[in-house]
Structure formats: C-alpha cells, structure tokens
Amino acid sequence: MKESYTKKHQLKNIWHKYQITRWIIVTILSFIFIVSAYCTYVAKTTDVRNLQSSLEKSTVIYDANNNNAGKIYSQKGTYVGYKNISSNLPNAILSTEDRNFYHEYGFSVKGFSRAMLSVAKNKIMHRNYISGGGSTLTQQLVKNAYLTQEQTFSRKLKELFLSIQVENIYSKKSILTMYMNNAYFGNGVYGVQDASKRYFGMDAKDLPIQDAAVIAGMLTNPSAYNPVDHPGLAFQRRNTVLQLMVENGKLTQATANNLKKMPIHVVNDYKYTDSYKYPYYFDSVIDEAINQYGLSESDIMNRGYKIYTNLNQNQQSNMQNDFANDSMFPSNASDGTKVQAASVAVNPSNGGVSAVVGGRGEHVFRGYNRATQIKRQPGSTMKPLAVYTPALQNGYNYDSTLVNKKLSYGKNKYTPENYGNSYTGSVPMYKALADSMNAPAVWLLNKIGANEGYQSVKSFGLPIHKSDNNLALALGGLSSGVSPQQMAGAYTAFANNGNMTTPHYIRKIVDSSGKVIVNNDQNQSKKIMSKKVAQQMTSMMLGVFNNGTGVGAKPYGYQIAGKTGSTEADNTGDSDATRDKWIIGYTPKVVVATWEGFDNTNKNHHLENLSGNGVGPLFRNEMQHILPNAGDNKFDVQDAQTQYEDEHQPKAKKSQSGIWHDVQEGASNFTNNVGKGFNSLKKGASDLFNSAKKYINQ
C-alpha cells in the first residue's frame, strides 16, 4: 500500500515538474491551429468567387480559328435562375435536406459534432470513413463542386472551411440556386431543370407540389428513388417528403393527404445533345491540360473554361469518317478482331495538332489513344532520322554511292536483309531511301558510327535508351517504341527547314471569369539540322511517293515527301507476316503519321505484305481531304532522282527530260485542280496544254 502511494506521488511530482498537462494542451492547440491554418489556406486559395460562373457555363472547346467546336462536361445540366424554378422545389428540398439553411452559416454545429464522434468510433472499429455527419446544403454544394465523395475526416474539414468561404461571398438564394442546378437526379441528369424535363416533361418553373416532392426525394439516393427505375420506392419517398413539408410548415396536412393519393405520371421530354463531337481530340486536350498544366479532370469538365486549341474541324471530321469506313482497312482477323490504326496531323510551323484519331470501333472516354499512347517499333520510318540525316551532316551527299550487299557486322554477326533478298552491289543514297533498302542503310550507319545515329535520334526527341546504340537502330530497332504523334513531331524538322516543333493541342485556356490561366501561343522550335540538310532530306523523301515504296499512298495531284515503314511479326510461321505498318508524309504545311496493326500480334492476328503499302488507302484518303485546304503545299526542292538526272545526263537528254518534267507538272496541276471546281479545272487544262505545246515546238 505504501509502495503504491510512493509511486503515485513520484508520478505526480514528475507530472508537475515537467508540466505535462500544459504540454498536452499546447500540443492539442497546435494541432488545431495547424489544421485550421491548412483548411483556411485551402478555402482561401480555392477560387470560390468563380463558383457561380463556373456552374452556369460548360467548358467550351474552340478550334484553330476560334470557332466553337463542342462542349465537355460531366456534372452539368441546363442552368436556370431562381426565378425560373417553382417555389415548390426549394420548399421541398429545404424541408428534406436542410431545414435550418437560412439560420446556419455554412455548417451545422450539431452535425459536425456527430461527424467528430463518428471519426473516433470508426477509428476504433478500423473504418476509414465517416458514417453520417449532417452536411448542410452549402456543404453538399461544396462537396459536389470541389471535393471528392470520399468520406474522410480531412475531406470533412475542407468541406467545412470551404462552406464558410462560400457563405462569405454568396447570398443564401444564390447558394440554393447553385445547389439545385448542380445536384444529381439519376439517369445521367443534373439540375432541377433537366430533372423536370426527364421525369415530368415540363420546365422546373411549372413543377407542381407532388412532382417537386419526387425530385426532392431523389437527392438522398438518385438511383433508388427515381420514378423510372423504381416507381414504388419513388412513390413512398415522395409521400415522406410531403409529410416533411407539413412538419416544416410549407404544406397543410389536408393538402399533403390529398397529394399522397396521386399517382406519379412519368413523361420524358429530356433531349440529350452530345457535343463531344471529336472524342479523340477532346480526350487529348483533357490529357494535355492535366499532364502539362496541372488541372484536374473535374476542373476541366465542370469549371466552365474556354479552351482554345489547334483543331481543324474539317480535317478532324474527315479523318473520323475515314476511320469509320471499313473499306479503308484490311479484313478483320478470323475471330472478328479489327485491324487497329491511328493517325495524327500536325502543323510543322508551330506543332499544333490539327486532327487525331486513336483507333477504330467504339470510343471510350479518355480510353486508349493509339495515336499518342502506343509504343511500337517504327521500322524504316527511322532511317531518315537515324541514318540519312546524320550522314548528310557528316559529309555525304544525296547521291553518294552506298554498298548494297548482304553483309554481317560485329561479334554477333548482325546481318540485315533487303526485302526479297535483292541486292545490286551498290546504290545511290536517294534510291536506297526511296526503295527502303535495309542493307545500304545499315552499311551507312556503320560507316558514320552507330553513336552518330543514336545522337541524331535523341536530338529528334524520341524515347531512346543506351541499349539502342547499335546498328539495329537503322531499321527502327528501339527498346521502348514510339507513337505516331512522336514520329510526326520528329518529321516536322524536315517540313520546317530543320526546325522541329513539339506536337500540342492547347493554345490558351480562359477560366469562367475571363482570366487567362494558360497561354501557349508562342511558337517554340528546336534547330535539328541546317536548312540545306533538311532540303536534301526532303528531296530524297519525295522519291518515296514518286517512285518508291509509297507510290500507292500518294494523294492524286500533290507532291508529298516522307517515309514508309514496317516491322516483322515474330513466331507466326509466316515469312510475310507483319506487326506494324507506318506511313509518315508531309508538305511544308502539314505532317501526317499513320500506323496500322493489331493491338496484340500473334499467328492469328498479324498483317500481311512486309513492304508496308497496306496502310496506303487510308493515308492517301486522309491526305486527299487535308491538302486541298492546307495552303501552299509546294516544295522548294526537286525530287532527288530528277535532280540527279538533270545534273548527270547529257545536254540533249537533259533538255528533253526538263521538258517532260514540265509536262508532268502541268498534268499534276490539272489533276490537282479537278477537285477544286470548274474554273480551276480550265486553268489546269491550260497548264497541261501549254506544257505539251512547249514540248512539241522543241
């Protein structure tokens, strides 16, 4: 007994000596201060002043010409003012959700106390949520507008402080109006106006008491109490709301009793307009806003932003139509799996993406976008980046002679093969590129050094690793792969006289109050090569579509430069099986990269024809739609083969060749103008006639 007393006495002395009670109080107060300071900071830095304007407006996407291209939203209905809402609705909602709304300042002391007690209870029971909590109507508005639906103590605190901030700025009537327009009522419907249309076929301002009670009753559980899916539960819930209105003094008992007997008549007059017209483009805009500018998906969808983009609506619509046309693609696999594809069009002068489609079939919101997300081997489309550009930079010329033999390199005896195992001993560089020969490309990379190619690819901004620093790089052998958008970005350097631009979608973002929060209008470019080298590369790549592997993909009446590519499909048992097919083409005004293949390649899911021309019809059709309205697509350089013939043929032949080139150019102008109307057709015919007459008079 004495020993126990001594221990207690010692403990008391220690407690007093070190002032433990005081330290406990200081710790608790410090914790409260820190939490309060943090929540106050969150409330003050959240742009509450824009709440009403952001709820009233949908986020609008504008195209490159500042024309409205569509809207994106999730929690948006038709916003109506308080005077356009029947008084029966606020009476029913306040009677059900928050009778003390006009007597509270954003939160309920009793409700918040219950939330605090539930925290302690759930912590003891190892539950990481708050059960109950008596949220006020203002808190519900804040939760829907700014916070997640996660039921945690930290979220509850933020909700409380934000509610106070909202009450500081807005009147009770404004808060109630925002709440009624932002609430969810099931079946994808937000706001009392659209709910009135969806369930009763009338405007919110005309809603009678019994129907207003149905809508108010849905707020607790929209999926369970809506009269379409659960008419019995909706009837019971409506009568409960009517009784609550009696208790709140908004209805007499006699009136309520009469209304409780009335059946619920559902009339659907709600018309949903899908303004998400360009799904892959809009997805990419959202992704860029999130990944580059730090906005959240919820903010983008619901804050009423104006997002100005590089979209060309004509190009985008045509590209989507091409992807919807099954005749543009190879047949499905035997099990019905579609051959997939992706395309992207980029303005080389500023990097603006004017059109993008990321796949075939049904679109999933912010789903897999093959134009921006796939990682596939680029095949021979890598040759201009890894081999021919650095070769020109190291003293080679467009007509330099390359060895075209089947050779082995290094200790591992790496032996590249030409398609069809065809070799000519030697070949000029421009022809090796146009015909996509593998052996001379690897020979050339070996001559200039694999590291030169590695550094060149790196300068083009493609994802490349140290393990890629080898001769296989010449044929597109990458450890991680690339997307069509990345390849299109790299090729902007050729189209833009050696200056590479980065593909992007957004030019500017303006919030609902008119404040510019993102400005990306400056054209930023990176010098990759000299103008001379870029022009030599274009000269060689014109041959790809004039007389090389891309002839079948050339748009009628236009000159384009670029490269085709394909990769082998391993373990299929088919020597001609192909995993990926690529075509990248450009003019001074646009770069288009198109990929085709199966998402998962195996013996039952692969393409045929390793030459890479299978994707030609799709690419050609895309270019046929894009080029007529893209501006001046003419190059300042000749096709390398024509240039070579002009420089090396005897004078008499050279004269004939030049005349024939004029005739060809006249024919090209004629074909080009066929699609531009009758007046242009006459001009094209005149060009052709004059060129032919010039030839005859020689």
Q: Is 405 exposed, middle or buried (0-12, 13-18, 19+ CB in 10 A)?
A: middle
Provide DSSP, 112-169.
HHHHHHHHHHHHHTT--S-------HHHHHHHHHHS-S---HHHHHHHHHHHHHHHHH
Is 104 marked active-site?
no
Q: Contact at 8 Å (CB) between 270 and 194?
A: yes
Helix (H) or strand (E) holding 645: helix 640-648
Distance CA 521, CA 696 (A): 53
Classify 656 in phi/psi space as left (phi over 0), alpha (psi -120 to 50) or beta: alpha
Q: What are the backbone angles phi and psi of residue 263, rounded to the nearest 5°? A: -75, 165
Closest CA to 181 of 231, 208, 215, 230: 215
Is 380 marked active-site?
yes
Q: Contact at 8 Å (CB) between 441 and 383?
A: yes
Residue 154 Cα to chain centre, angstroms? 32
Written as six digits, the tokens of 651 are: 């004078």
Residue 321 Cα to chain centre, angstroms? 19
Written as six digits, the tokens of 244 are: 């609550």
Which regions of 528-601 does DSSP assign to beta strands (E)?
Answer: 561-568, 578-586, 591-597
SS3 443: helix
Q: Which of 54, 86, 97, 196 is catalytic?
A: 97
Q: What are the backbone angles phi and psi of residue 504, rounded to the nearest 5°? A: -155, 160
Compute the half-sphere exposure of residue 400: CA atoms within 13 Å on the CB side of its CA. Answer: 17
Helix (H) or strand (E) holding 654: helix 651-674
Q: Which of 380, 456, 459, 566 is catalytic?
A: 380
> Which positions are catalytic?
97, 380
